[in-house]
Amino acid sequence: MIVRQLMCRGLTSHLCAAVRLNWSAPKMARPSSNLTEFCEDFAKAKHVAIITGAGVSAESGVPTFRGQGGYWRKWQAQDLATPEAFSRDPSLVWEFYHYRREVMRSKMPNPAHLAIAKCESRLSKQGRSVVIITQNIDELHHRAGSKHVYEIHGSLFKTRCMSCGEVKANHKSPICPALEGKGEPDPSAKDARIPVQHLPRCDGSGCNGLLRPHVVWFGETLDSDILTAVEQELEKCDLCLVVGTSSVVYPAAMFAPQVAGRGVPVAEFNMECTPATMRFKYHFEGPCGVTLPPALERHESEAI
């Protein structure tokens, strides 16, 4: 399957060729924005896949660090979110991620997150399933109450040991004493230059290895087990929602077009049209926190 070929965010030419093959299917007619019609499809669906991106979290005030103005100090995320940057300056990279972790403590799930979690809970009582496939690393879906979540890019609140490889949840604030009060985003702020031995360390028995954020950095491969599970979910879903994603970051950008290619209804909820919009049956424009909740409300035909 094409999904398995797109496990790297730093795409090479042969991977791009695979993407073009997937996108060569004929475009559909202009997507519908008829909510009543969508609700009829929603009421019939047994396995719903919801793909979410940065647009969902942005409505909670979460910085995206993408595009114009998306800087931390003088860097954009792609300058720091790489294995090379961490190897070169782990103190600077940890300052960046410590800042992001601390920012998230003041952010709350918004109506879109809550509507998805409520929908998942309701449909599970009817023998139906909802799976969330998210590109976001902020855990807001979990905090909203969602249970069936695949975080394809990892989580801000997990660490991975560079020595023993252990992945572990970590919600400490600060994550280590040396980072307390560090991470100021102002361009004039001085780098902390924390000695590597004082950065977050593994607490496994006899390890003490350097920890890194358990997120997928640019140029790294995505977790093959997660991608396999996601592929299985997409193959069985009979309704797909694409929420708050620009449809330009691979491999997630081709998940929904792949589903639409086999005739499954796909509904896009976004602030604007995307490169994939014309391939979907529905498009609902506007803030996800406004457009999504009424779409996921209980339909009159539902038993519960």
What does the H/E/C string look like for 95-145? HHHHHHHHHHCCCCCCHHHHHHHHHHHHHHCCCCEEEEEECCCCCHHHHHC
Beta-bridged to residue 268, according to DSSP, are: 242, 283
Q: In whole angstroms, how far apart are CA 60 and each of 57, 117, 120, 152?
A: 5, 16, 20, 20
Q: Which of 113, 141, 142, 153 is catalytic?
A: 153
Specify whether 141 is catalytic: no
Q: Is 66 annotated as a binding residue?
A: yes
Question: Would you say how long the chain is, in residues?
Answer: 304
- C-alpha triplet 19, 264, 285: angle, nearest 5°: 80
The answer to whether the beta carbons of residues 6 and 19 sit under 8 Å apart is yes
Q: Is 108 annotated as a binding residue?
A: no
Q: Is 269 annotated as a binding residue?
A: no
For residue 211, give every residue at least 6 positions away whose Cβ sits within 8 Å of its Cβ, in sequence order, or none: 159, 160, 161, 162, 170, 199, 200, 201, 202
Q: Is 100 annotated as a binding residue?
A: yes
Q: Is 61 annotated as a binding residue?
A: yes
Q: Is 10 annotated as a binding residue?
A: no
Q: Is 266 annotated as a binding residue?
A: no
Q: Is 209 annotated as a binding residue?
A: no
The answer to whether the beta carbons of residues 174 and 180 sit under 8 Å apart is yes
User: Amino acid identity of 178?
Assistant: A
Q: Is 28 annotated as a binding residue?
A: no
Q: Is 54 annotated as a binding residue?
A: yes
Q: Is 282 annotated as a binding residue?
A: no
Q: Is 65 annotated as a binding residue?
A: yes
φ, ψ at 268 (rounded to 5°): -105, 130
Binding residues: 53-72, 97, 100, 135-138, 161, 164, 202, 207, 244-246, 270-272, 288
Active site residues: 153
Binding residues for substrate: 97, 100
